[in-house]
Amino acid sequence: MELLYSINAEGLMAMARPYKYTVSFREGDWRDKKLLGGKGSSLAQMTQMGLPVPPGFTITTVACRDFLGPRRAEIDQLVGELEKNPPPSIRDELISKIWSIINSQELPDGLMDEVRGRVHELEAETGKGFGNPANPLLLSVRSGAALSMPGMMDTVLNLGMNDAVAEGLAELAGNEWFAYDAYRRFLQMFGRIVLEIEDKEFDALTSKYNERLKSIASSARADELSRLASELPGYSPRIDAQPPREMAPGLWSDSVSLLRSMVSDLKSLIASKWGEFPQDPWRQLELAVKAVFRSWMNPRAIFYRMANNITPEMADCTAVNVVTMVFGNMGWDSGTGVYFTRNPSTGEDVPYGEFLPSAQGEDVVAGVRTPMGLEELKLRMPAVYGQLIEAGKKLERLNRDVMDIEFTVERGRLYFLQNRVAKMTPAARVKTAVDLANEGVISREDAVMKVDPQTVQNLLYPRIDPSAKASPIATGLPASPGAVSGQIVFHPDVAVEWSRSGREVILVRVETKPDDVHGFYAAKGILTSRGGMTSHAAVVARAIGKPAVVGAESISVDYDAKEIRVGGTTLKEGDWVTIDGSGGRVYPGKVPTVEPEIIPELEVLLSWADGFRRLGVRANADVPEDAEIARKFGAQGIGLLRIERMFRKPERLEVLRKVILSEGPEERREPLRRLSDMIRPDFKGILEAMDGLPVVIRLIDPPLHEFLPSPVEVLSQLHETRAAYLALKDSELARSMSPEVIKQYEAKLQELERLYSRVTALTEHNPMMGHRGVRVGVTDPDFYYYLTRAIMEATLDLLEEGRDPRVEIMIPQVMDVSEIKYVKSSSIEPAMSEVAAERGYRLERSPTRTSAYVISKGNTRTEVLVGTMVETVRATLTASEIAKEVAFFSFGTNDLTQATLSFSRDDVENKFLPKYLELGILAENPFQTIDVAGVGKLVRSATADGKASNPALEVGICGEHGGDPASIEFFHSAGLDYVSASPYRVMVARLAAARAALREGARSAPQVDK
Amino acid sequence: MELLYSINAEGLMAMARPYKYTVSFREGDWRDKKLLGGKGSSLAQMTQMGLPVPPGFTITTVACRDFLGPRRAEIDQLVGELEKNPPPSIRDELISKIWSIINSQELPDGLMDEVRGRVHELEAETGKGFGNPANPLLLSVRSGAALSMPGMMDTVLNLGMNDAVAEGLAELAGNEWFAYDAYRRFLQMFGRIVLEIEDKEFDALTSKYNERLKSIASSARADELSRLASELPGYSPRIDAQPPREMAPGLWSDSVSLLRSMVSDLKSLIASKWGEFPQDPWRQLELAVKAVFRSWMNPRAIFYRMANNITPEMADCTAVNVVTMVFGNMGWDSGTGVYFTRNPSTGEDVPYGEFLPSAQGEDVVAGVRTPMGLEELKLRMPAVYGQLIEAGKKLERLNRDVMDIEFTVERGRLYFLQNRVAKMTPAARVKTAVDLANEGVISREDAVMKVDPQTVQNLLYPRIDPSAKASPIATGLPASPGAVSGQIVFHPDVAVEWSRSGREVILVRVETKPDDVHGFYAAKGILTSRGGMTSHAAVVARAIGKPAVVGAESISVDYDAKEIRVGGTTLKEGDWVTIDGSGGRVYPGKVPTVEPEIIPELEVLLSWADGFRRLGVRANADVPEDAEIARKFGAQGIGLLRIERMFRKPERLEVLRKVILSEGPEERREPLRRLSDMIRPDFKGILEAMDGLPVVIRLIDPPLHEFLPSPVEVLSQLHETRAAYLALKDSELARSMSPEVIKQYEAKLQELERLYSRVTALTEHNPMMGHRGVRVGVTDPDFYYYLTRAIMEATLDLLEEGRDPRVEIMIPQVMDVSEIKYVKSSSIEPAMSEVAAERGYRLERSPTRTSAYVISKGNTRTEVLVGTMVETVRATLTASEIAKEVAFFSFGTNDLTQATLSFSRDDVENKFLPKYLELGILAENPFQTIDVAGVGKLVRSATADGKASNPALEVGICGEHGGDPASIEFFHSAGLDYVSASPYRVMVARLAAARAALREGARSAPQVDK
């Protein structure tokens, strides 16, 4: 442990003796991310590889820890209280206590002396002077923890700027615009980030100067403007875009004077909100370092760490990188860009990226201007391009993944500012993982571990139905794939609120920022009117797998009117819209979508995964079509076939209702026999589709009244019929009518009255815990008898056609072994033996396996297993006994979760569950991800007990958790044999199962990258 | 194990060498009940004490085991199959298989030789000859296992009788009537029991001869009859009653010739149903012994053993007792009787019993004639009486309990036929146990162990309200105490059926037999028109604690018409009747009853019990009156106060509805404050009643919509109001009415509409698992805040009055520790600290106890605990975590049972639970007796986990199981600190808790009698 926090030996040796808190990029051990942070590590790596990185140094996380140091225990205790989810008033109080401690902290002794020494080293290396107007050294100050963390302070550029330096820089660069633009930027960033003045103050100033420039341009400089429009198509008159001096000298000088005026306004703003702007660069630097350290305890950062369970072992405090400024905004031979070593959208091995000429990095990220593609950089600056690509490939091999590289070109010279593993679309993530393994860069295991199962799920997002006759109203950039419809909302909070109330929403914004991310999670998709493929909206949407269209510039977003306007169309908040994140298209209304096809690399990856996993993967399917899809997706059987779903067809429902409404066994048998004949072809179809693979068929489970109309429904029908009947009887007309009609009415009334009384009798207070599942099997043995007959008939039909049906009959809702004994001996065994006898087959108990029946005639044979669903708590507690009477267990984790938490799924999700998740009483929706501490405990012990008492016992899970990666990891560790998921989750499950096995194998080895 | 089946060493030594299977009464070790059976043991005991017992011997259980021996494994396997509760068809098949094996078995080699030897010993001792007409030895053959067991063959009297012996006996006794009556009895018993000919055949013959005798008597012998009626008031002309020869010579000779004719008819009956009646006494004896052995495997006996968990360790096979006949039917100086050493109804230490002159034992038991009291025996035969009483007292001391002794007087000479521990009324059981301990016969521990807790419960049966103006329509014997009303049924099966459908029934019979016992359990009470205090009906009713009136001879029971007639009244099946088993009175209709008073011996017994028990006993009470009763019954606190019960009063319900229907916290606060003021006096009242004892107050638990009218209710009200409103609006009248009325209607309609929408919104699919308990506390913190305020105010009020209130606040429906943390910090702690501050008290956390709050001012102080109900499965699974945040656990075993079994109590009891109990899938109703294998496992582990993580944790249980003796034994063993039961169950709980502790202490010592 101690080691994690200390500088490692190599680093120590490389460091000049007097330095305690700082490491230059040339010296640091770039592998030590915990010390240097992610950004510092990447800068050290690139520097040491010989790539052109602006000189700089890292203030290590040790300094940040020492900054908090004296009151660390106190802060930790307050954070601990916050983790208990106190009510809002207490939470606010805790936060303000933390904040007041942090604000009273001073930088550790000696840190600024050391920093001063490092800056002097930079001065020596660059030949410039910090705060020297004649040849000024400007710095960027960038935070960087071991893990990237939203909510923390990011970057301050151009630090060291002041009135004198700006003048000097203008002279030195021979470019007044550049110098004052840099000064303006610095004042904005410093004011906002370091001095904590609100954004909107700066935005208002920016808008004002943009308007002033635009109005000057359109009137006084209309000629220059029209020239520019033809030569520089990206250009528009904005305060942050440098007009080419030669082509538009008037506009240039207007811009410069506006910038000067804006700088003056910004200093006034700072003076009014914080105090006199510090002209002393050393004071600026000290304030910036402190601001970075403080931001580690920013409430947003604290909550992010809490929500993502980031422990001090993973990341403890932030580092600060102090880097010599290079300028992408020195003119049209400069610029800034992002380069992905492979296409992050498709995964193709072609360089991909964006470049924004005459701009600083923040302009690209914020998506304020739409950048050009990397091909254009290749044409304009082939040498720079070549150098970039070569470095990218090197970094890819070194870091064993696709890289995302920030760079700046200053007057034709390339500088590397950062590299990190690229965020990719699901398809790209899969393709590149497979390609990297095939290229020998990583192992197949690594490839599997690189692909998060959720990624595979996202691959399966639907597309717009090609046959749909929909015309897009706008086109933007295809930022994150998938087509999806939702109701328009404009604010992330509204997105959260609406989605909690069950609505599907699309979050529509001009552009997005880290504060908006909660809205991303709540929304089905994201649409912005500004920004590029690497804008915040695009990056985040891809990372979390939400479809997104960004930079759809023809759309005008009006937050106040809560509407968007495009062409002649206006869509209001709550209107439906469909976005296609793969094609970048926006459609009004709900457009039909179709299921996706599977990329070939996914098949490869999953075949590797299959080789690593121990858990089997089956699918839940109720109709032959679903079974076929499941098989195509690699299911190794059906883990849950719900007979009741076969009763949805009206003619079957009618017969089933006859069964339910019958008064006794005699009356019930005939419709049961008919029902049995009706569903036999369905069984046959599914068994045929899964030929040679096991199919678990669950005997009827839900409360019977679910198949009946509700009492209120019947009652109102009864009232209506009675009213009509009485009206008819009383009317003059009736006398002239045939008595037949009256009689028909009377019969109908009688039938409705009977129906009402039966429906009322069958109504239950808590149907989930009522007369259902095996309880129906016990009270009405004919039910399971006839269902088993249908299954057996289908099985023998297939056997006779030379097929290989593998049936597993599952008894639901069991709470005691005697229920199983009873229904086996009263229904299932008689049905099996009678059908076998009728058709000339032998039926024997398997000599080797409990509750397995061998059916044979001549050379044909099949084995039918009888097992149970484990979905009551008591079944888990008495698993040893139950296991002695069954061939398999299948955990019904939906019902088991309901019972363990006493959470009715039908009720809690819209009542208190949202509040519980909000307060953090529950970390996850327990119906999505298994509750390991509660339900998991039962699953684990029942599996162990069951297998101990019946070693041949097969144990699976068929609840919805079967398709959830985190749950699958748990099921692997609990020793289950297989999971069963919905067909569209089968691939996710295969991958998750492999990762669980690999992770288990690698538990003691160093953690594999996710 | 082996030892249990073998004859013990003493027994072996005492036995003459050549005897392997038989022991004479003089030799057997009477302590070895497993070898001799209960009856054989009592006969050996009395013989060896020197009491006059007719000579005889016991065929030990070893012989019976050897009888089954060769095919024992096969039979055991079939019985094992039966225990799996197969469906009826399979069950019948299994039974017939067992039966066919048993029927093919022969007596073990050498057994009959040995028996012959033993009978020769009897011949030598009595000077009579077996089958010798000149001086015949007659025998009784009586079964007797280690435990008494209904369904097994009981007794055959007069064995050895045949045509020649009957003639010889008549001559020898000088009493033809006697000889042929004995022959008749033998043929009936032998035919019925040994040859298995149906009862009804014999009953028909008996009726026929009774009729014939009656008609002769009423016509030809009217004069004799009238003389007898005055001299022998008990006499009536029946074929089984010997007319005094001197007083009624004609009747006597008519009787004799009828008896002869009947004997002949009986032999014909046997010939037609079985084969020629065996005249050979040895053959008779062999058949009888075999019949006894067979009866061990009688289906009724098998099911009885299964139902009562009687294992081979407890009783394995039956013994057979062969006893020299003595005759109570030799005339009016003979007779037969039963003697209880103390009054089995009151427990008073006075001899009690009945004597039937001129009768054999079976006449008393069957209740066919009403016998005389023991006082009358004392007058008639003072020597016999004296001998009886002396023996009784000896036996009482030896056997350490009240004894029930069967005896026969033959021509003035007393014989003892059996002794056993008396069956007593609950009051007698309690009184005699205490008296025996006070007399030094038994220890106080023994006294406590002698009283089944259910007995104490039965003591608390209600009496007829003395102020009720009801007149009895009939009076019978007060056979089993308690007054109860129910609907009349005549057949035990109907009793079972009706009681399952929720009706309360009184089983009415002429007399009862062992076959009827299932009806006793189903009925609320028993009423018979014939039989005495020791008749079957009376004995069984007392044993199981059901009120019973027997021998109400004025009632005529008509099974065919399904009615009873008494005086001018006719009551039909389904009519209500009330019986008072304490007074022997029968009332038509439902008569009000009142609660009983407590006998002083019970207080003594319970004070002893309190000294032995470890479990505390609290009561569930919601109003001060219940708290007072609970305290009177010995409750050591309130274990559950349900706040919601305080809301039943209409004015409170109205305010609560305002709270529930409010749209937000603002609107809710005002009514909550009012509600808090309204219930504060209730808290005060209960805390005052329990001054100095803990009171656990549960914060509101049920789903809120339970306090609202149902949607259907509101909807119909809405419809009606709307219809009235529309009618009014359209009418001519409306124009002339003030618009005020119309407005009122409109307001009402609006209110109803709002109510309907709220009520509908609050409706849940499965409310037991919905938005309730702490979930309401989390979503609406004001709820718990104001409730806590009311509790605190009441507490401080009492403190200021110098009282000692001890409050424990309980949070219901918890499934995770964070719920507790949240409601404590958001509601409970703020309410406590605010009330304390307002009234000038200090509030501190207890330094020694988790979640305990010390409130003090000056010298006054009180400690308030905050704990949780453990009623979700997840709470039990995460008990370690939860225990760290609470001062106590209280298991809510009702909800926990629901969740563990997924049984909705509201639904299952009338749907499938009866079937489950019938099929034996469940042995007990899990809502009455705790399901040890399932729920018990959770209770046990949660208690252990909770105490391990918080050693000061107090653990109780407040579900309905808290008053169930079997469950209490479990809670003791699971390590709980207390149980909480309904006030009327507190005494039961005190006793059960003591017995659990004593049983635990005595686990390795020999089993104490129950």
Instruction: Answer yes or no: is pLDDT of B420 > 50.
Output: yes
Instruction: Answer yes or no: is pLDDT of A838 > 90.
Output: yes
- Determine, for residues B822 and A766 on separate chains, whether the beta-carbon distance falls below 8 Å: no
CB B547 within 8 A of CB B481: yes
Question: Any known ligand binding at B580?
Answer: no
Q: Using CB atoms, pick whichever of B907, B916, B934 lies closest to residue A874.
A: B934
- Determine, for residues A781 and B895 on separate chains, whether the beta-carbon distance falls below 8 Å: no
What is the spatial distance between Cα A792 and Cα A837, in angstroms, rounded to a whole number?
Answer: 11
Give backbone dihedrals phi and psi of B981, rounded to 5 degrees, phi first.
Answer: -130, 170
- Determine, for residues A907 and B765 on separate chains, whether the beta-carbon distance falls below 8 Å: yes
Beta-strand pair A576-580/A585-588? antiparallel
Note the pLDDT of residue B913.
79
Chain A partners of B919 at a C-beta cutoff of 8 Å?
Answer: 778, 818, 822
CB atoms within 10 A of CB B189: 23
The distance of B562 to chain A (nearest Cα, Å) reads 26
Chain A partners of B872 at a C-beta cutoff of 8 Å?
Answer: 900-902
Q: In whole numbers, what is the pLDDT of chain A averaged over residues?
A: 88
Token pair for B552: 């109400």
3-class state of residue B806 by DSSP: strand
What is the spatial distance between Cα A937 and Cα A562, in angstroms, rounded to a whole number?
Answer: 49
Note the pLDDT of residue A743.
83
Q: Which of B64, B317, B536, B705 is catalytic?
A: B536
Instruction: Name the H helices within B174-221.
Output: 176-189, 199-219
Average pLDDT over residues A714-721: 78
CB atoms within 10 A of CB B2: 5
The distance of A661 to chain B (nearest Cα, Å) reads 15
Note the pLDDT of residue B1007.
44
Q: Which of A536, A705, A961, A972 is catalytic?
A: A536
Instruction: Answer yes or no: is pLDDT of A447 > 60.
Output: yes
Average pLDDT over residues B195-221: 90
Q: Which of B64, B317, B705, B958 is catalytic?
A: B958
The distance of B846 to chain A (nearest Cα, Å) reads 20
pLDDT tens per residue, range A768-798: 888 899 999 998 899 999 999 999 999 999 9
Average pLDDT over residues B164-186: 93
Average pLDDT over residues B220-227: 86
Average pLDDT over residues A373-384: 90
Find, in chain A, the residue whose alpha carbon is nearest to that of B825.
A86
Instruction: Name the H helices within A400-535.
Output: 426-438, 444-450, 453-459, 492-500, 517-522
- Determine, for residues A764 and B85 on separate chains, whether the beta-carbon distance falls below 8 Å: no
Note the pLDDT of residue B406.
93
What is the spatial distance between Cα A147 and Cα A310, in angstroms, rounded to a whole number?
Answer: 9
- Sheet-wide strand order for B403-410: B372-373, B352-357, B335-340, B403-410, B413-421
Question: Any known ligand binding at B871?
Answer: yes
- For testing contact with chain A, the best of B766, B822, B824, B918 (most A CBs within 10 A): B766
Instruction: Answer yes or no: is pLDDT of A1 > 60.
Output: no
- Determine, for residues A921 and B816 on separate chains, whether the beta-carbon distance falls below 8 Å: yes
What is the spatial distance between Cα A52 and Cα B208, in angstroms, rounded to a whole number?
Answer: 126
3-class state of residue B509 by DSSP: strand
- Determine, for residues B921 and A877 on separate chains, whether the beta-carbon distance falls below 8 Å: no
The distance of A878 to chain B (nearest Cα, Å) reads 7
pLDDT tens per residue, range A815-825: 999 999 999 99
- Determine, for residues B766 and A771 on separate chains, whether the beta-carbon distance falls below 8 Å: no
CB A137 within 8 A of CB A281: no
Chain A partners of B826 at a C-beta cutoff of 8 Å?
Answer: 86-87, 90
Note the pLDDT of residue A1010.
39
Note the pLDDT of residue B588.
93
Instruction: Answer yes or no: is pLDDT of A602 > 80.
Output: yes
pLDDT tens per residue, range B630-689: 999 999 999 999 998 788 778 888 898 888 888 777 888 999 999 999 999 999 999 999
- For testing contact with chain A, the best of B712, B827, B871, B873 (most A CBs within 10 A): B873
Per-residue b/e over A275-290, b at no fewer than 16 CB within 10 Å?
A: eebbeebeebbbbbbb
What is the spatial distance between Cα A19 and Cα A12, in angstroms, rounded to a whole number?
Answer: 9
Find, in chain B, the residue whose alpha carbon is nearest to that of A877.
B934
Tokens 């959830």 -> residue:
A964
Note the pLDDT of residue A158.
93
3-class state of residue B779 by DSSP: helix
CB A476 within 8 A of CB A553: yes
- Determine, for residues A771 and B911 on separate chains, whether the beta-carbon distance falls below 8 Å: yes
Instruction: Answer yes or no: is pLDDT of B909 > 60.
Output: no
Instruction: Answer yes or no: is pLDDT of A543 > 70.
Output: no
The distance of B816 to chain A (nearest Cα, Å) reads 8
Chain B partners of A931 at a C-beta cutoff of 8 Å?
Answer: 874
Q: Using CB atoms, pick whichever of A819, A904, A915 lies closest to residue B766.
A: A904
- Determine, for residues B874 and A934 on separate chains, whether the beta-carbon distance falls below 8 Å: yes
Note the pLDDT of residue A460.
75
Instruction: Answer yes or no: is pLDDT of B277 > 90.
Output: yes
Chain B partners of A87 at a C-beta cutoff of 8 Å?
Answer: 781, 822, 825-826
Name which of A398, A423, A411 is nearest A338 in CA terms: A423
Count Cβ–Cβ pairs < 8 Å, chain A vs chain B. Answer: 212
| Alpha-carbon distance values, B605 to A469, B403, B453, B456 (Å) | 89, 21, 11, 10
Q: Using CB atoms, pick whichever of A764, A815, A878 lies closest to residue B904.
A: A764
- Determine, for residues A904 and B90 on separate chains, whether the beta-carbon distance falls below 8 Å: no
- Determine, for residues B877 and A765 on separate chains, whether the beta-carbon distance falls below 8 Å: no
Q: Using 50, 70 and 90 to split pLDDT, how confident is the model at A737?
A: low
3-class state of residue B119 by DSSP: helix
3-class state of residue A33 by DSSP: helix
Average pLDDT over residues B3-27: 60
User: Which has the higher per-residue pLDDT, A540 or B156?
Assistant: B156
pLDDT tens per residue, range A839-862: 999 999 999 999 999 999 999 999
Proportion of chain A above pLDDT 70, given as a percent: 92
| Alpha-carbon distance values, A228 to A135, A330, A578 (Å) | 33, 18, 37
Instruction: Answer yes or no: is pLDDT of B545 > 80.
Output: no
Q: Kindly state the DSSP code that residue B370 receives in the 8-state scheme.
A: P
Instruction: Choose the weakest-confidence range: A196-200, A926-930, B1-5, B36-40.
Output: B1-5
Note the pLDDT of residue A17.
47
Instruction: Answer yes or no: is pLDDT of A229 > 80.
Output: no
Name which of B305, B309, B395 is nearest B351 in CA terms: B395
Chain A partners of B781 at a C-beta cutoff of 8 Å?
Answer: 87
Tokens 């349900």 -> residue:
B642
Instruction: Answer yes or no: is pLDDT of B925 > 60.
Output: yes
pLDDT tens per residue, range B742-770: 788 888 888 888 888 778 777 777 788 88
- Determine, for residues A877 and B937 on separate chains, whether the beta-carbon distance falls below 8 Å: yes
What is the spatial distance between Cα B848 and Cα B189, in angstroms, rounded to a whole number?
Answer: 75
Instruction: Answer yes or no: is pLDDT of A16 > 70.
Output: no
Find, in chain A, the residue whose alpha carbon is nearest to that of B813.
A902
Catalytic status, residue A536: yes
Chain A partners of B771 at a C-beta cutoff of 8 Å?
Answer: 907-908, 911-912
- Determine, for residues B764 and A907 on separate chains, whether the beta-carbon distance falls below 8 Å: yes
Q: Using CB atoms, pick whichever of A821, A881, A908 lies closest to residue B84.
A: A821
Note the pLDDT of residue B754.
82
Q: Using CB atoms, pick whichever of A86, A877, A933 lies closest to residue B825.
A: A86
Q: Using CB atoms, pick whichever of B877, B900, B921 lies closest to residue A933.
A: B877
What is the spatial distance between Cα B346 and Cα B478, in angstroms, rounded to a whole number?
Answer: 11
Note the pLDDT of residue A4.
33
Token pair for A253: 């000088």
Chain B partners of A922 at a C-beta cutoff of 8 Å?
Answer: 816
CB A102 within 8 A of CB A79: no
What is the spatial distance between Cα A427 and Cα A582, in angstroms, rounded to a whole number?
Answer: 11
Find, in chain A, the residue whose alpha carbon is nearest to that of B821.
A84
Q: Kindly state the DSSP code that residue B705 receives in the 8-state scheme.
A: G
Q: Which amino acid, one-letter code, is at A23? A: V
Q: Which of A705, A958, A961, A972 is catalytic?
A: A958
The distance of A891 to chain B (nearest Cα, Å) reads 15
Average pLDDT over residues A173-185: 91
